[in-house]
């Protein structure tokens, strides 16, 4: 029970992190490397300064207090002016302690609010080692600390201690070394990571091209890690299998359609030789239907031909399709918006659009074609003012040979392959065809092609 809760929590944290971290593998990998590196450096810096630093300062404070003790003892042992002057001089010169003496009483010591490590350590050492009343001010300016010590005979010793005697110096070099090494390591990490990620990026490009039915660039996947190489190999195998299966389907379709034509032609001949009757007329209609279906199959199969995607002007294709329809006096409007230079299989797309426009004209009287360039795709919308298709039939009509209008009279229809082919073409480009209700009152067909 408790385990489940923990796992749940962990899961939620992971999901949160997933949503709030950058989306590229590169950035994430960098974070995975850089965050622990920074933490480690911060930790070692903290340890260095607080532990080692405190230690060193403590020793320095103890040494300082010992020097002060020696000075006090010397002064007591040599009361003559000449020696005392020598003590002041050499303590300033050799010990860096600026000493002076005066009559009086030291101020009572109260630890001020701002008190650094050095002052604290000096205070501790004075209390432990000297056992005399004292006063410390670590904020007298000039990079110095003032220490006043009560001597036995009613004298006060004032000492100005420069901070250099109490700090362990060049932390700048330490920080510089840390920053420098961090930068170098960081640069190396970026460089190696980039190298590792290139094959993954290539694989992404290749998969994208395959999905859009374009030529797959042949990248060398020889670099990279074993995982990436395996994925690349699997991808290549998949591509070959995919192509083979499409080819097989196409060839079979073409073969069957072709083979059926011969017996059909024979049947037509035999029918023509028979005396005319209602039965033979029905039979003849069926034969004509079958012929049309086979033509449709063949057209479908041909659609899978070897046309290669190439950059074309989609606006031109739209104009062509509209011009074709206008030849039959149809009312067709065309418009487009945005950059219409797209890489696609022009003949296939033309077929797809022609099918859709001829559907629209078969069921309505006005057709409007409009293409819009989006961020990742172009959308071609074909609107008509016909009866439309009820929402619950909109998936059915994409099935091969499916027709809403069951009567087989020649002016309402073909064989029921138009939408099937249209969708097949769009999908082979990585897009799709969707149906909706048109503002003109009839059907709206939206063809989306990723770019
Ligand atoms: N614009 C439209 N308005 C109303 N119904 C439509 C429209 N387009 C297609 N349909 C319906 O969807 C069915 C399937 O269309 P599809 O284009 O696949 O076949 P078809 O037009 O009957 O034959 P083909 O296009 O193969 O000559 C049509 O029979 C028709 O009932
Ligand atoms: Mg049609």
Reported as a single tens digit per residue, the pLDDT across 38-53 is 898 888 888 877 777 7
The string of pLDDT tens digits covering residues 142-180 is: 888 999 999 877 889 999 999 888 886 656 777 788 888
Would residue 342 count as lying in a domain? Answer: yes
Instruction: Let me know whether 297 and 357 are in one domain.
Output: no
User: pTM to 2 decimals?
Assistant: 0.61
Name the residue among 395, 383, 365, 394 with its Cα closest to residue 438: 383
**Domain of residue 329, CATH code:** 3.30.565.10
pLDDT single digits (tens) 179-193 = 888 889 888 888 888
Task: Give 122's DSSP letter.
Answer: H
Q: Which of 328, 333, 352, 360 is nearest to 438 (CA)?
A: 360
Could you tell which of 289, 355, 359 is best to mutate to test the pocket of ligand 1, judged by most ligand atoms within 8 Å of the CB?
359
∠ CA 292-255-285, rounded to 5°: 20
d(CA 282, CA 280): 5
pLDDT score for 397: 93
Residues 277 and 333 in one domain: no
Low-confidence ranges of the chain (pLDDT < 50): 408-410
Nearest ligand to the CA of 437 is 1
pLDDT of residue 149: 93
CATH code, 242: 1.10.287.130
d(CA 103, CA 91): 20
Please say whether the dihedral angle defined by the alpha carbons of residues 197, 201, 202 and 203, taken in this order, is positive or negative: positive
Please say which residue of 306, 333, 368 terminates a domain.
306
Q: Give the distance (Å) from ligand 2 centre to CA of residue 303.
A: 15
Say how many domains are in the chain: 3
Q: Is 182 left (phi over 0), alpha (psi -120 to 50) or beta?
A: alpha
Same domain flag for 246 and 364: no
Instruction: Decide: 304 in ligand 1 pocket, CB within 6 A.
Output: no
Look at residues 275, 306, 337 and tell me which one is the last residue of a structural domain: 306
> Same domain, yes or no, for 71 and 152?
yes
Q: Is 276 exposed, middle or buried (0-12, 13-18, 19+ CB in 10 A)?
A: exposed
Task: Report yes or no: 367 and 384 within 8 Å, Cβ to Cβ.
Answer: yes
286 and 414 share one domain: no
Q: Provide the CATH number for the domain around residue 143.
A: 3.30.450.300
For residue 73, what are the CA distances in angstroms to 61, 67, 90, 146?
A: 18, 10, 15, 20
Give the tokens for residue 77. 């042992």
On the CB side of 36, how many CA atoms lie within 13 Å of its CA?
Answer: 5
**Final residue of a domain: which of 247, 272, 306?**
306
Residue span of the structural domain in which 340 resides: 308-450
Residue to mutate, 301, 419, 422, ligand 1, most ligand atoms under 8 Å from C-beta: 419
Decide: helix, strand or coil at residue 221.
coil
Is residue 354 within 6 Å of ligand 1 at its C-beta?
no
Q: Do the domain assignments include residue 180?
A: no
Nearest by Cα to 104 from 164, 154, 61? 154
Largest CA distance in the chain: 157
Q: How buried is 64 (Cβ within 10 angstroms: 0-12 exposed, 13-18 middle, 19+ buried)? A: buried
Instruction: Say if ligand 1 is within 6 A of residue 451 CB.
Output: no
Q: Are 446 and 322 in a shared domain?
A: yes
Question: Does 419 contact ligand 1 (Cβ within 6 A)?
Answer: yes
Please indicate, yes or no, whether residues 262 and 315 belong to a single structural domain of this protein. Answer: no
Cα–chain center distance at 252: 43
Measured CA to CA, the distance from residue 315 to residue 311 in angstroms comes to: 12
């Amino acid at each position: 029970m408790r385990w489940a809760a923990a796992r749940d929590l962990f899961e939620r944290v992971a999901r949160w992190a997933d949503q709030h971290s950058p989306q590229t593998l590169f950035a994430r990998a960098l974070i995975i490397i850089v965050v622990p590196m920074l933490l480690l450096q911060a930790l070692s810096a903290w340890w260095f300064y607080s532990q080692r630093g405190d230690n060193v300062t403590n020793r320095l404070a103890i040494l300082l207090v010992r020097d002060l003790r020696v000075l006090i003892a010397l002064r007591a042992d040599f009361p003559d002016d000449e020696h005392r002057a020598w003590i002041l001089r050499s303590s300033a010169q050799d010990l860096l302690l600026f000493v002076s003496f005066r009559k009086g009483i030291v101020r009572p010591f109260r630890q001020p609010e701002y008190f650094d490590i050095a002052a604290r350590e000096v205070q501790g050492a004075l209390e432990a080692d000297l056992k005399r009343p004292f006063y410390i001010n670590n904020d007298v300016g000039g990079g110095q600390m003032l220490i006043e010590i009560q001597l036995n005979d009613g004298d006060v010793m004032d000492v100005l201690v420069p901070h250099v005697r109490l700090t362990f110096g060049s932390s700048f070099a330490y920080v510089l070394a840390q920053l420098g090494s961090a930068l170098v390591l960081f640069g190396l990490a970026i460089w190696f990571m980039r190298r590792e990620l290139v094959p993954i990026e290539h694989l992404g490009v290749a998969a994208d091209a395959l999905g859009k039915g374009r030529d797959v660039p042949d990248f060398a996947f020889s670099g990279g890690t074993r995982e990436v190489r395996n994925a690349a190999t699997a991808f290549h195998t998949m591509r070959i299998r995919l192509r083979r299966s499409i080819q097989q389907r196409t060839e079979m379709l073409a073969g069957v359609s072709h083979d059926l034509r011969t017996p059909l032609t024979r049947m037509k001949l035999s029918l023509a030789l028979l005396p005319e009757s209602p039965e033979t007329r029905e039979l003849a209609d069926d034969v004509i239907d079958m012929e049309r279906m086979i033509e449709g199959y063949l057209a479908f199969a041909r659609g899978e031909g070897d046309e290669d995607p190439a950059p074309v002007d989609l606006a031109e294709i739209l104009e062509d399709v509209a011009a074709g329809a206008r030849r039959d006096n149809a009312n067709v409007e065309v418009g487009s918006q945005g950059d219409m230079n797209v890489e696609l299989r022009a003949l296939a797309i033309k077929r797809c659009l022609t099918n859709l426009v001829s559907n629209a004209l078969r069921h309505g009287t006005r057709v409007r074609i409009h293409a819009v360039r989006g961020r990742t795709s172009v959308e071609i919308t074909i609107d008509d003012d016909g009866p439309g298709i009820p929402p619950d039939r909109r998936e059915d009509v994409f099935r091969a040979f499916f027709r809403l209008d069951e009567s087989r009279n020649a002016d309402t229809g073909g064989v029921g392959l138009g939408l099937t082919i249209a969708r097949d073409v769009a999908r082979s480009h990585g897009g799709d065809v969707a149906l909706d209700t048109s503002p003109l009152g009839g059907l709206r067909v939206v063809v989306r092609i990723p770019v």
